[in-house]
Structure 1
Amino acid sequence: MIQRIQTVYLLLVAALLTITIFIPVGSFIDTNGLTYPFTPLNITLPSAGLNYTPWGQLAILILAAMIAFATIFLFKNRKLQMRMCVFNSLIIAGYYLVYLMFILMTKGSSNVSFQFSFGLCLPVISLILTYLAFRSIRKDDAMVKAADRIR
């Protein structure tokens, strides 16, 4: 299990998504030039009266990290492992849709500008690593099928 490369990929996916929860994924800049960091854990924007947790984004990141970690232990069922990788990729893509919707709604309700941060790149890296894990699992499955044909 640990010696397979897809295990390393999926562990990195889980770690990157967990890190994304805690670091800023952007900043709101109000008309006075004050910067307010935006993390999936908390957003504070006094000019618009916002001070809450964007639960949708937080839930999606936690779910995607848990699925990536749980997928590691499905090594005996490669078909299910590949399906879980595809499902996790869809969840990560959904994170960006929720993120974009939240930014557009927040900018529309207040007079602030938004600046993207490096933390927004980590789910994209996770998406790429999930694809690499999917490819490695598919390659393992093909190798097992070839060995079964030889027997």
Structure 2
Amino acid sequence: MIQRKQSLWLLLAAAFDATTFRFPIYSGDWMKDTTPAAIDLNANTTIWFTILTVLVGGLAFVNIFLFKNRKMQLRLCFLGIFITLALLALYFLEIKNFYSGNIALWAIFYVGALIFFFLAIRGIRHDQKLIKSLDRLR
């Protein structure tokens, strides 16, 4: 399980997803009732961000232990990518509600989780090719 590269990538995706609860993707002033308020946009901002972030992190972590079922692992990685892209789209839609601000350096964690899912898919496909080539030799 740990010897496989995709297990490391999925663990890093889960870890990066967990850090999004602490670090913001965007910091700025949000106009609410004509008074600006300084707000950091992170996974704790709304209930939907929290639910989707927990779902992506849990999906990445559980996916580590599905190493015997590569097809299911591949499907769950694609689902993780889809949910992560949806989550990033929701963040950027929420950024439009801000009066002023800037993207935080910690936004790398949000994109990093997406990249690690892609790397895990690459590792799973490599394993599938290796198993097919070994089956041909038998």
TM-score by length of 1: 0.81
Q: Is the contact between residue 56 and residue 98 of structure 1 (CA under 8 Å) also seen in structure 2?
A: no
Deviation per residue, 1:113-141 (Å, 9 max, x gap)? 12111222212111111111101110111
Q: Which runs of 5+ in 2 are unaligned?
A: none
Give the CA deviation at 1:79. Answer: 0.8
Distance 1:128 1:18 in 2: 15
Which residue does 1:22 correspond to in 2? Answer: 22
Alignment partners' CA distance in 2, 1:6 and 1:29: 39
Match of 2:115 in 1: 128
Seq. identity, %: 33
Matches within 5 A, 1:44-59: 53-59=45-51
Kindly state the Cα deviation for residue 27 of structure 1 after the two structures are TM-superposed.
1.1
Q: Name the residue aligned to 1:89.
A: 81
Report how many aligned residue pairs link the two structures.
Answer: 135
In structure 2, give the amino acid aligned to 1:19.
T
| Pair 1:38-2:30 in alignment | no
Question: Which structure 1 segments of 5+ residues have no match?
Answer: 42-52
Change (3 A) 1:138 1:15: same
**2:13, 2:30 → 1: CA distance?**
34
Shift in Å at residue 28 of structure 1?
1.5
- Alpha-carbon spacing, 1:150–1:39, altered in 2? closer, same or farther (3 Å): same
RMSD over aligned CA atoms reads: 1.9
Task: Give the SS at the match of 1:127.
Answer: helix
Q: Say whether residues 1:119 and 2:135 are aligned partners.
A: no
Structure index of larger Rg: 1
When the two structures are superposed, what TM-score results if normalisation uses the length of structure 2?
Answer: 0.89
Instruction: Tell me which residue corresponds to 1:102.
Output: 94
Aligned: 1:4 with 2:1: no
CA displacement 1:44-86 (0-9 Å, x = unmatched): xxxxxxxxx4111111111000000011011001111111111
